[in-house]
Amino acid sequence: MEPTLLTDEEIVSQIVSNRDTQLFEILYERHSGRVYNKCFSFVHENALAEDLTHDIFLKVYLSLKSFEGRSKFSTWIYSITYNYCVDTINLKKKTTQKLEEYQYDQVSFTEPDDAELFCIQIEVLTKILNTIRPEEKSILLMKYQDDFSLQDISDSLGIGLSAVKMRLTRAKQKVVDLYNAKSSHITA
């Protein structure tokens, strides 16, 4: 069969069995655009997004044996992308984030409705996502942009389902709070 007609998962199993790097090029062609744009959305810098994409694809290649096929390959590669971006950003600004996290954790949370989240205009949402912590941004993108199931997010972050629900609720609440704060600031 023509290699380009193979599914991602079939390609992965062939690469694992015979280390065919040519086949990996097909995976690169299929996913590099989205991986690069995800990286860019976190770092807002072309050179850094390029470095991250390079490292992510190398990491993906070296980890192919550990892909178990429990989720789609695309889910797996985007999960690696989010984790790598979050780790890179956190490494850069560790101390300031801890302080912000502490301050925000003092607030109690109620789960906002998805409709509240979906009412936010794209430009405003982009700005808000750039101000919240990368962990919060990534969990929201996993859920609402890439349609990860709760189990996929749980596998990706290595935390339990209840912790996933808690983090999602907090992230949603934070976005809605920031949106309301911005709106009231504009109307005032």
Partner 1 sequence: MENTNNIPTNPFKLLEGDEKVPENLKDKVMSSINFSNMLLDITELFTTNMASSVGSLFKVDSIGEKEEKNKDDKENKK
24 binds partner 1 (CB under 8 A): yes
Taking Cα atoms as reference points, which of 41, 67, 68 lies closest to residue 53? 41
For 97, the 3-state DSSP assignment is helix
* List 11, 36, 133, 153, residue binding partner 1 (CB under 8 A): 36
For 108, the 3-state DSSP assignment is coil
Q: Give the nearest distance from C-beta 6 to partner 1 in angstroms.
A: 19
Q: Considering CB under 8 A, how many residues would be counted as binding partner 1?
A: 35
Q: Give the nearest distance from C-beta 103 to partner 1 in angstroms.
A: 26
* List 21, 66, 106, 184, residue binding partner 1 (CB under 8 A): 21
Q: Give the nearest distance from C-beta 16 to partner 1 in angstroms.
A: 13
Q: Which is nearer to partner 1, 37 or 162 (CB)?
A: 37
* List 118, 158, 185, 188, residue binding partner 1 (CB under 8 A): 118
Site for partner 1 in 48-107 (CB under 8 A): 49-50, 53-54, 57-58, 61-62
Answer for the pair 171, 117: CB distance below 8 angstroms, yes or no. Answer: no
In order, the DSSP letters of 36-94 are HHHHHHHH--HHHHHHHHHHHHHHHHHTGGG--SSS-HHHHHHHHHHHHHHHHHHHHSH
- Please give the structure tokens belonging to residue 102: 């502490």
Residue 73, amino acid: F
Separation CA 80–CA 157 (nearest Å): 10
Q: Give the nearest distance from C-beta 134 to partner 1 in angstroms.
A: 15
Task: List residues binding partner 1 (CB under 8 A).
Answer: 19, 21, 24-25, 28-29, 32-34, 36-37, 40-41, 46, 49-50, 53-54, 57-58, 61-62, 115, 118-122, 125-126, 129, 140-141, 144-145
